[in-house]
Structures are given as structure tokens and as C-alpha cells.
Chains A and B, each alone.
Chain A
Amino acid sequence: MPTVDKERLIRCPVCEAVNIDHGKSNVCRRCKSKIYQHQKFNTEKSWAYLMTAIIFYIPANLYPMLVIKQFGQEEGSTIIGGVVLLWEMGSYPIAAVILFASVFVPVLKFLLLFYLLFSVKYSLGNDKKVDKHTIYYITEVIGPWSMIDVFVVAILAGLIHLSSIEMVAGTASTAFALSVFFTILAAQSFDERLIKEKR
């Protein structure tokens, strides 16, 4: 009777079926999707997406996110500038939400992905106790929340456009949207099997 090692059972990310790990390339028995199509130990794809996201994050912080045109005057505010402005105006909860979604979440995600990508390639001493599956899960869950700022800019720009006062999206909104997009791709292309390999 054939027996299979428990450690060799993997989960299909598409249909959640339990599959036997056959090594290099696996095809799910139920939905026929490829599981981990990137060959053995490939973290390059994830690295590339992560780097792109970090590069886009720089202009996202330097350029204005929202431009307010009032009586012929143009005034742009960056992400940090907007947070400071809101804080000075006394709307602390909103300042906190924006700070959390646009600064804290992306940076945390970069750091967590960095850690995951490093730790599956090189052993970082005694990190066996760290639950990397949970870390990966966190990066997947918090990722989309950084889109809040982009949506807010889209709503404000759509709502306020008069000849005397007008709000338009700034260059940073494009960069920021792309940065979030690439962090989500980086998290999705990370091969979860690598966590198991190093355990």
C-alpha cells in the first residue's frame, strides 16, 4: 500500500485541494492549475516586483498627492504633508488612518517581504520559531489597505471641480497606485513552499 509523507502534502492556491508534492512542477488534481509554476527555489520574480514597488514608492512620497487650485493659486500636498496638515487641523483619527494606510502599511509590507525572501534563501540564525506562514498571511491581508489614499484622492477630485476651487489628483497618486499594485503582485508570486523547505 503506498504511503505518503505528511510533509509532502501541499495546498492548491486556486481551489484549496490537498495535493501530493511531486517536486519541480505540480499540477492540481482537481482544477488542473499549476501549483508553484516558477521552478525550484525561485524568488527572482517576487524580488523584481518588490523592487519595482519600492522604486515607485519614492516618487509617491516626493510628489504631491492632491493639488488644490483655489482662486488661481495651486497648492499641492504630499502624503506626509497631508497627514501633518490634518493633524494640525485637529482631525487626529483621519490623520492616523492616512498615516497607517499610506506610510505604515507599505513600509511594513516591504520589510516583511524582505525578511521572507531573505530567510528562505539564507538561514538567519535561530529563526525557526518565527511563524513565517503567519507573516506571509499578514502581508497578504494588509496589502490592499494602502489603496485608501488613492481612492480618497479620486473621490475628492471627482467631487470638487468648480472654476473657483478645484481639486485634482497629483503625480504621486499614479506612483502610489503602481507601488501598491506591485507589492500585491510580489506577495502573490512568493512561493509558499519555500517556507516549508527551510523549516
Chain B
Amino acid sequence: MKIEIKSDEDLDQYVICHKCHTLHQEVTIEDGSKALCSHCSSVLYHRDDHLLDKGLALSITGFIFFILANSFPLIKVDIMGQEQVITILSMIMRLIESEYYIVALFVTYLVFIFPLMIFMIYIVLFLLLKIGKGEEITKDLMILLSKILPWNMSDIFLISILVSLVKLMSMLEIHMGISFWTLAVFVMIDLYMTRSIHLGELWKLKKIIYKES
């Protein structure tokens, strides 16, 4: 089937499903609703008129919760009368001490550096889009974001904490630390953001914002 393309601009009215690669023509939808793929019914795009405010609020909240999750103990155990605590950073230090450098490197990047980077990029990105300045920087940030998003594994780390808790439950007394709950909130914000904010929508928004100014 042929379609008419006069310039590159015309291509912006089409969208390709990220899951099954079916081509769709974009239609205007109501605020707050989403368009689904006709073939595999995964989400194609959302319409959200307050995307910037919402995104900025969520990314700042997520950032605060991430800082909190790293400043208090995640788990506390009573073992033979001695109390042991763990934070994400102490866990990494322990891996380095026992000379597992490669595992330490992976853990550092996957559960500390990448999540931190993603939320810092989100904050800068939404701020720049809001004030409508720095077109080049927003472009570079969005490209960087798309490269590191698949490497964020905080959600998997949260499940791992639960698994290790159940593993230890039979032999020790375990208490959840404050950071466990803040990490859980952080993961929820993170999941919500990756589900509700597609990068393609930000690119479209960027085009509108910088065209006006």
C-alpha cells in the first residue's frame, strides 16, 4: 500500500507500534485517554495536556524518594545478638571488599547510577521544556535517556530484596528498614513514569514548544 509523503513533516502523523511494528495514522483523542494498537492492543500514545507539570512533579518526587532510599537502612537483621543493617551503598562496598569487582560494577550501575541519572535527566528535561530554552540540550538528553532507560533495574532489585528476605526468614529475625518502603515508592513512581510517558510524546511536545518560541 502506498501513502503520500510531501515532506518529512508528513511522517509525523504516523506512528509505528513498538511491539508489533504495525503502521498507524494518528488521530486526535480526548485529554487523558490513550490510543491502542489495532493489531496487538498495546498503547501507541497518550494525550495529556498537563504532561510537563505532571512529569516534573513526578520526577522531583521520585528523586527525593531515591535519595531517601539511599540514606537509611534497607533491611535490619538480628543475628546472634548482633544487629546488621544494609544500604545499597554498603552492599556495593561489601562486594568491592570481597573483590567481586565486576558484580559490584553491575550492581552500582543498574541499581544506583542509572536510576539516579534517569531522574536527574527527567528533572532537567521537564524544566527546559517548561521554560522553552535549550533545544540542543533537550535533544541530547532525550537521546541519552532512551539509551539508559532499558538498563534501569530498580524494580528487579526490589523483588530481589523480597526474595532474600524470604530466604533468611526461616533462620533470622528480620526488620524492614525505612529505605525499603521509600524504595518501593520510588519503584512505583518509576514504573508509572515509564508506562505513562513515552519518549515519542516528549519529542512531539519538544517540536511544538520550540516552534512557538
Binding site for B on A (CB under 8 A): 1-7, 9-11, 13-20, 29-31, 33, 86, 89, 91, 93-94, 97-98, 131, 133-134, 137, 140, 144-145, 147-148, 150-162, 164-165, 168-169, 173-174, 177-178, 181, 184, 188, 192, 195-196
Q: Chain B residue with minimal CB distance to A98?
A: B163
**Residues 169-187 (chain B) with a chain A CB within 8 angstroms:** 170
B107 touches A150 (CB 8 A): yes
Proximity bits, B144-180, A CB within 8 Å = 1, else 0: 0011001101001101110110111010000000000
Q: Bound complex: CA of A160 vs CA of B16, how far in Å?
A: 49
A18 touches B16 (CB 8 A): yes
Please name 12 further chain A to chain B contacts, defined as beta carbons within 8 Å, in addition to the given A18-B12, A154-B107, sorted by A numbering.
Answer: A4-B5, A7-B1, A14-B143, A15-B146, A29-B11, A94-B163, A134-B19, A144-B150, A150-B107, A154-B91, A158-B90, A178-B102
Instruction: Kindly list chain B residues whose C-beta atoms are within 8 Å of the C-beta of A20.
Output: 5, 11
A2 touches B5 (CB 8 A): yes
A17 touches B203 (CB 8 A): yes
- Is B21 interfacial (CB-CB < 8 Å)? yes
Instruction: Kindly list chain A residues whose C-beta atoms are within 8 Å of the C-beta of B80.
Output: 162, 164-165
What are 19 of the A-B contact pairs (CB < 8 Å)? A3-B3, A4-B3, A5-B2, A16-B198, A20-B11, A29-B8, A31-B139, A31-B142, A97-B163, A133-B19, A145-B156, A147-B160, A151-B157, A154-B103, A154-B107, A155-B86, A160-B168, A173-B103, A184-B151
